[in-house]
Amino acid sequence: MIRALLVCAALLAALPARAEVSEIRMSKQYGLGYLSMMVMESQHLIEKHAAAAGLGTVTVTWRQLTGPSMMIDTMMSGTMDFITPGSTTLITMWDKTAGTPQEMLGLGAIQSMPFVLVTRNPDVKTIRDFTAADRIALPGVKLTGHALTLEMAAAKEWGFENYDRLDPLTVTWAHPDAATALLSGKSEIDAHYASSPFYYYELARPGMHQVLKSYDVVGGPHTNGVLMTSKRFHDANPKATAAVVAAVNEANAYIKENPRGAAEIYLALSGEKLSTIDDMIKMVTDPDVTYTTTPVRVMAFAEFMFKVGRLKHQPKAWTDFFFPEAQSLPGS
């Protein structure tokens, strides 16, 4: 599938250059990890910065996507201009497209945010307690940061050669569906490696408990979501690209300065009914979460991915995955 999409993207890359776009197509996902996207959408920040850059009236189209595979498909087929996957998807696509006409890179992070592994199985206190009867839902096997940090944890627990020991227990589920399945108590899913706000909902339910937090695996805070585009779009649309980056920065600043307003936007756009506004403010201001464009510990994932054979190219630094706009940031 990816090979066919690469061929399609190469054909698109061969088309003549055009003037800057009048429509910007943006992806978003479920959860508080994409709160900055929601603020951008609600406050029309891309349109604001595009107009200030002299682009006139620019239409911004938002599309809700589920999981890395769908985002990769839309980017490779040329039906999306900017996607917001996890950092491991960015690294994967850099590896597959580096030096080609369809090269894809990041423009910065969206936030730093942990993944929390929650289970309803009372016998599972650590990852060592999982058995063949358990099923761990996460947003994408092998590819996502959730899958990678679970493998990193397994490598620490059982030795590097056993890094994939828990892989047979993992299944791909979107976070909302996984949370619903776990909380129902009726699904084969008895554990969920969740992102915010889903782990808050799960841990609030009696009988649920935390097994693992990704920050403990990689040695501290790490980037979750990133903003990503193709080199072709980036180079052909410098003003539009700059407008999107400026919008992310303004949205992140807004979240820090006005967490109540950000919480209200999240509840309004997500349609979430499980939390009060005060609950949501606590989630938005959780000290574990930082809404920032600075990539954090991206290289920890890249080095592990290369070591286990997921990458063909060995990265030298985190800046390998990002456009020049991000390379001056104090990343890692």
Q: Name the more confident of 68 and 305.
A: 305
Do both 149 and 209 map to the same domain?
Answer: yes
Domain termination site, one of 218, 235, 270: 218
Q: Is the pLDDT of residue 3 over 80?
A: no
Do both 99 and 180 map to the same domain?
Answer: no
CATH number of the domain encompassing residue 127 = 3.40.190.10
Nearest Cα neighbor of 153 from 130, 187, 179 is: 130
Do both 312 and 179 map to the same domain?
Answer: no
Do both 178 and 304 map to the same domain?
Answer: no
Q: Are 281 and 259 in contact (CB under 8 A)?
A: yes
Q: Is the pLDDT of residue 6 over 80?
A: no
CB atoms < 10 A from the CB of 243, how many?
Answer: 24
What domain range includes position 141? 116-218
| The predicted structure's pLDDT at residue 37 | 96
Do both 182 and 240 map to the same domain?
Answer: no
How far does Cα 49 stand from its chain's mean position?
24
Convert the pLDDT of each residue in 72-81 to its tens digit. Answer: 788 777 888 9
How many domains does one find in the chain?
2
Do both 64 and 164 map to the same domain?
Answer: no
Do both 301 and 165 map to the same domain?
Answer: no
Reported as a pLDDT band with limits 50, 70 and 90, residue 19 is confident
Let me know if residue 274 belongs to a domain: yes
Q: Name the more confident of 271 and 163.
A: 163
Reported as a pLDDT band with limits 50, 70 and 90, residue 143 is confident
Convert the pLDDT of each residue in 82-131 to its tens digit. Answer: 999 999 999 999 999 988 878 999 999 999 999 999 999 999 999 999 99
Q: What is the pTM of this model?
A: 0.88
Q: Name the more confident of 152 and 186.
A: 152
56 Ramachandran zone, left/alpha/beta (phi>0; psi -120 to 50): left
**How far is it, in rounded angstroms, from Cα 101 to Cα 86?**
23
Nearest Cα neighbor of 79 from 65, 67, 93, 58 is: 65
| The predicted structure's pLDDT at residue 274 | 83
| The predicted structure's pLDDT at residue 105 | 96
Do both 46 and 102 map to the same domain?
Answer: yes
Convert the pLDDT of each residue in 33-59 to its tens digit. Answer: 999 999 999 999 999 999 999 999 999
Let me know if residue 261 belongs to a domain: yes
Do both 141 and 160 map to the same domain?
Answer: yes
Domain termination site, one of 218, 251, 277: 218
Let me know if residue 332 belongs to a domain: no
Convert the pLDDT of each residue in 228-250 to its tens digit. Answer: 999 999 999 999 999 999 999 99
**Among 9-13, 166-170, 313-317, 326-330, where is mean pLDDT lowest?**
9-13
| The predicted structure's pLDDT at residue 130 | 98
Q: Name the more confident of 78 and 260.
A: 260
Let me know if residue 50 belongs to a domain: yes
| The predicted structure's pLDDT at residue 18 | 47
| The predicted structure's pLDDT at residue 5 | 43
Question: To the nearest whole number, what is the mean pLDDT of the chain?
Answer: 91
Do both 104 and 130 map to the same domain?
Answer: no
Quote the percentage of the chain above a pLDDT of 90: 82
Convert the pLDDT of each residue in 201-232 to its tens digit. Answer: 999 999 999 999 999 999 999 999 999 999 99
Residues 6 or more apart whose CB falls under 8 angstroms from that of 225 comprise: 29, 33, 34, 84, 85, 86, 87, 109, 110, 111, 113
Let me know if residue 78 belongs to a domain: yes
Let me know if residue 272 belongs to a domain: yes
Q: Is the pLDDT of residue 17 over 70?
A: no
Do both 292 and 253 map to the same domain?
Answer: yes
Domain termination site, one of 165, 193, 218: 218
Let me know if residue 238 belongs to a domain: yes
Do both 310 and 181 map to the same domain?
Answer: no
